[in-house]
Amino acid sequence: MEQTKELLQAQTHVYHHIHGNAISMFLKCAVELGIPDAIHAHGQPLPFSRLVSSLAIPPSKAPSLRRLLRLLTHTGFFTIHPDLDSSGEDAYSLTPSSQLLLKSSPTSLASFVVGILDSSILSPFQLLSAWYRSEHPATAAEMARGMPIWDWARANPHFNLLFNEAMASDTSVVAKVLVTDCKAAFHGLRSLVDVGGGNGMFAMGIAEAFPHIKCTVYDLPHVVATMPESPVVEAVGGDMFERIPPADAVFLKLILHTLTDEQCVKILRLCKEAIPKREEGGKVLIVDVVLNSDQQDYMVTESQLVWDLVMLQATGGKEREEHEWKKVFTEAGFVDYRVTPLGARSLIEVFP
């Protein structure tokens, strides 16, 4: 009996991870249908029949929608209220997780969900086993597309737009956390350059929270070309491997984890040249993963380890433990750093 119980538990464990990809795609479906937005617009738990009509889906698909909601309720994205008004009809409300999927929210992750789960990004995962077996020196993504991801983005406007919207969506959450809980990191700064800043979401958030800080977005020319005009943020096109515009602080969000250690050292040396001495307020602000094997939160640890493998197949980069970060900082000529955990990521302040 114990042996068969263990066998069934093992089978369930395997099924759970096989179906993980399907859960992600059903979540993407819910975002694309606008389910969170429809519930939010109602202002209170939304009866199922009204949800169906608000989504403008055929009545024949109502039973299928109920099954989709059943799964996403189980996984924590919606709350069900059985027979809320004595009509015998279920109603649905949002959870903190689905509130992050509202397209109108300043901290929306809707574009991140849709972009990261797009087939153009997921297709290289089908080649992982072939990549491991081959002598191909590059990434699985390059093996699939015939070129590095950044060249692919430059040559494919659809992918470029999806990717930048996804990064901007993710940045909105980071920006809110930083300006709320990490204000001290920006104390005394007069200028900041956001390297790889995409459409300027973070820089605009900093400029709004700290009007005295002159903010600049520095990214590849084809990226800053899509950035909306802003009276408070300057857009500069260029290559971070060649130069970094001067500022009191350089901000790098999810940049270094896309790179090898050697590439990180090269960019950090350019950052060091761009900022003043520590006594004059110079620093590099990094938002990235700091792997922690002692982390007790299962979801945080799993998220970090998944990101590590995503970087491996996408860019050849990696997530780093603290001692690995310290080695990179030291080789680049920095003398001190400070780590502040932010969920699955951390704010790392690096000082010359």
Catalytic site positions:
257
Q: Which two tokens stand for residue 3?
A: 């042996």
Distance of alpha carbon 60 from its chain centroid, rounded? Answer: 36
Paired strand residues for 350? 284, 337
Q: Which two tokens stand for residue 167?
A: 């990064």
How far apart are the C-alpha atoms of 304 and 175, rounded to whole Å?
20
Tally of CA atoms within 13 A in the half-sphere of 301 that contains its CB: 7
Closest to 208 measured CA to CA, from 166, 180, 188, 167: 180
Q: Which two tokens stand for residue 67?
A: 């099954």
DSSP percent split of the chain into helix, strand, coil, nearest 5: 55, 15, 30
Task: Tally Cβ neighbours within 10 Å of residue 122.
Answer: 13
Closest to 236 measured CA to CA, from 191, 287, 174, 173: 191
The type of residue at 265 is V
The type of residue at 92 is Y
Closest to 151 measured CA to CA, from 141, 162, 136: 141
Burial class (CB in 10 A: 0-12, 13-18, 19+), 64: exposed
Q: Which residues have a Cβ under 8 Å from the Cβ of 154 and sit 6 or more positions away?
A: 160, 220, 222
Q: Which two tokens stand for residue 166?
A: 């996804």
